[in-house]
Amino acid sequence: MINTFFGANSLGSLGAWIASLVIGVLFGVSLEKAGFGSSKRLAGIFYFRDMAVLKVMLTAIVTAMMGLSIAIWTGIVAPATQIYYMQTYYGTYVVAGLLFGAGFAMSGWCPGTAVVGLASGKIDAVVFLGGTVIGSILFNELFFILKPICTWGQSSLQAYGQPGLAFLNDSLGVSRRMMIPGITLIAVACFWGAEYIEVRKGRKVLFNSPFLARFSLALILAAGVLYLIPEKQPPAAELKPPVIEIKPTTAETKPPVVETTPPAVSEHALPSDVVSAPDHATPEAPNPVIQGLRLPAMLDTDWLADHLTSPDIRIIDSRNQPDYNTRHIPGSFSVSPESFIGVVDGVPAMLMPAEIIAAKLSLMGIQPKDMIVLVYDGDRIRNAGLIAMALERVGHYRYAILDGGFDKWMAEGKTIDNTLPRVQRSAYPAKPDTDNFSVSYATVLAHVQNKTALIMDVGPEEYFTGKISDEARAGHIPGAVNRVFSADLATTSAYTGFKPLPELTENYAKIIPSLDTSVVVYCHTGHQASQTFFVLKHLLGYRNVYWYDAGWTEWAARPELPIEQ
């Protein structure tokens, strides 16, 4: 698995800029080699004289389609988290296509080829680029008028938990695998058709040539092979967290030890240098004390004790305030998970918007580069889980949950105090577009109707069956399976933690078909489901996990939504 610049939230980094520059130069060279530095050749497609545009574009489409499919199916790229998708607006695309086509036909340029023409010294390319800049400025200034056109005809489909996102195969009702040979055959037919048209115009081309025949056969064979390649599904035994490298800036420190359950509960303790790792990369400015640590994760108490004095460590204690006032880990803040929830759009107990969460983090002096350690007590890992959802909503993935919580810290006799931390307020940036995991009732309903996701109710069984209810209606979302959140926990006389990963892996493999299956977790208010989200996404590596925050509270209160008992 790799992290793209988008998935790592580092599109503004120097590495991304260099990669963009290199790709841009190579792209420009390719366009020039294809003859796209000439507006006459580009415009030739509209007069059926020169079909180079069609041939180059179709070659690019087929190449990108096959390459990306290989990357996704072999597990190199996670499509749900590592790729940016624009929502689908059919009406907008029709208008945009007509405008683009008219501009292309009149000028003979598009923005990319015009830059190539500029490099070739073409004056008409300079005029076109000047018009492009002026048009972009006008569009920006008039967007408040043009916005209805830009959001016209949004698709009713959804993908990867994003409403309004449609793929061609979903619109046609076929599998993605079928699209590869289908589009390849269309491209091959267009190649032959384009060559035939150029023959009719008296041009010396490749129609009926051995090269075109071999090239077409190679594409068809490649498409056939890709159609037969199975998607990579690691066996349960391989679903282990990766070994990470810790690079402290001071003296040699002990690597983080992560046991998802105390040794007294399980005989399958994890190795001492193992930390669970998700698909997210660490942010652009890594904490120097824990550089290389892939987060989110479960963090060992010994590691935290060794790094308590680090200026980049922030500890959030989710216990009740009286317990915090009496004793707590030095430097920790007392933050109730309730402080991150409230009424949103009429629904109670919802996770607050990103700007409110960012403001709360600012009051604690937290910055994006900080490493946040979440502390719980008893079996209330879900409290840390809910705060973790708040962090992820603002794109803060540099966090870990303290394994065993405060109880384990106390049982080991580690340092405590009862003083309040000193704080210098920060200006934590609000990032409202980083939440790609929360879903609405409309999205969940679409999943239920189209059977495109596994719906998991993590609340108690008696609520799931409808025997007990404190909501508008009793029961559960149709087709949902019940996996109680507390079933993931193991308790000793000293503290509570997660069960060992092999056991969790085996249990969830019986419920969820594959690591790529779309899973929507919910409970009554999203609180308990936040714990299951952490387990599935960050401990077990399921790639497409979504969180229905409003949960049964909203679903039961909407009489138009179906229920089961």
Q: pLDDT per residue over 49-61, tens digit each?
A: 889 999 999 999 9
The span from the CA of 502 to the CA of 504, in Å, is: 6
Among 497, 557, 498, residue whose Cα is nearest residue 524: 557
Overall average pLDDT of the 326-354 stretch: 95
Given 362, 390, 411, the domain boundary residue is 411
- Residue 468's pLDDT band, with cuts at 50, 70 and 90, is very high
Tokens of 169: 């195969």
- Residue 162's pLDDT band, with cuts at 50, 70 and 90, is low
SS3 call for 398? coil
Among 235, 232, 236, residue whose Cα is nearest residue 506: 236
Long-range contacts of 343-352 (CB under 8 A, 24+ apart): 347/550, 347/553, 347/554, 348/525, 348/553, 349/525, 349/526, 349/527, 349/553, 350/525, 350/526, 350/549, 350/550, 351/386, 351/389, 351/390, 351/393, 351/438, 351/526, 351/549, 352/390
Identify whether 418 is part of a domain: no
Long-range contacts of 65-70 (CB under 8 A, 24+ apart): 65/179, 65/180, 65/183, 66/180, 66/222, 66/223, 66/226, 69/176, 69/180, 69/226, 70/226, 70/229
Residues 374 and 456 in one domain: no
Identify whether 81 is part of a domain: yes
Residues 178 and 294 in one domain: no
According to DSSP, the residues that pair with 540 across neighbouring strands are none
- Residue 230's pLDDT band, with cuts at 50, 70 and 90, is low
Residues 128 and 199 in one domain: yes
Residues 361 and 485 in one domain: no
Identify whether 210 is part of a domain: yes
Q: Residue 231 has what pLDDT?
A: 56
Overall average pLDDT of the 516-545 stretch: 95
According to DSSP, the residues that pair with 359 across neighbouring strands are none
Q: Is the predicted pLDDT of residue 169 greater than 90, yes or no?
A: no
Q: Residue 281 has what pLDDT?
A: 37
Identify whether 242 is part of a domain: yes
Among 488, 519, 278, 307, residue whose Cα is nearest residue 381: 488
Identify whether 285 is part of a domain: yes
Pairing mode, strands 158-159 and 162-163: antiparallel
Check if the beta carbon of residue 495 is closer than 8 Å to that of residue 408. yes
Given 411, 428, 450, the domain boundary residue is 411
Given 228, 252, 285, the domain boundary residue is 228
Mean pLDDT in the chain?
85
Among 162, 139, 137, residue whose Cα is nearest residue 92: 139
Residues 224 and 274 in one domain: no
Q: pLDDT per residue over 490-509, tens digit each?
A: 998 899 999 999 999 999 99
**Which phi-psi region, left, alpha or beta, contains residue 541 (left: φ > 0; alpha: ψ -120 to 50)?**
left
Residues 224 and 107 in one domain: yes
Query: What is the residue-wise DSSP string for 402-416?
Result: ETTHHHHHHHTT---
Tokens of 42: 């580009």
Residues 183 and 38 in one domain: yes
Residues 445 and 502 in one domain: yes
Q: Residue 171 has what pLDDT?
A: 85
Number of domains in the chain: 3
Q: Residue 283 has what pLDDT?
A: 34
What CATH number is given to the structural domain containing 302? 3.40.250.10
Residues 224 and 245 in one domain: no
Overall average pLDDT of the 86-111 stretch: 91
Identify whether 164 is part of a domain: yes
Residues 307 and 179 in one domain: no
The span from the CA of 500 to the CA of 506, in Å, is: 10
The span from the CA of 411 to the CA of 497, in Å, is: 14
Q: pLDDT per residue over 395-451, tens digit each?
A: 999 999 999 999 999 999 999 999 999 999 999 998 777 899 999 999 999 999 999
Overall average pLDDT of the 75-99 stretch: 87
Q: Is the predicted pLDDT of residue 211 greater than 60, yes or no?
A: yes
The residue ranges of DSSP E strands in 106-208, in sequence order, are 158-159, 162-163
The span from the CA of 381 to the CA of 401, in Å, is: 8
Residues 395 and 257 in one domain: yes
Residues 68 and 196 in one domain: yes
Identify whether 526 is part of a domain: yes
Note down the domain range covering 249. 238-411
Identify whether 533 is part of a domain: yes
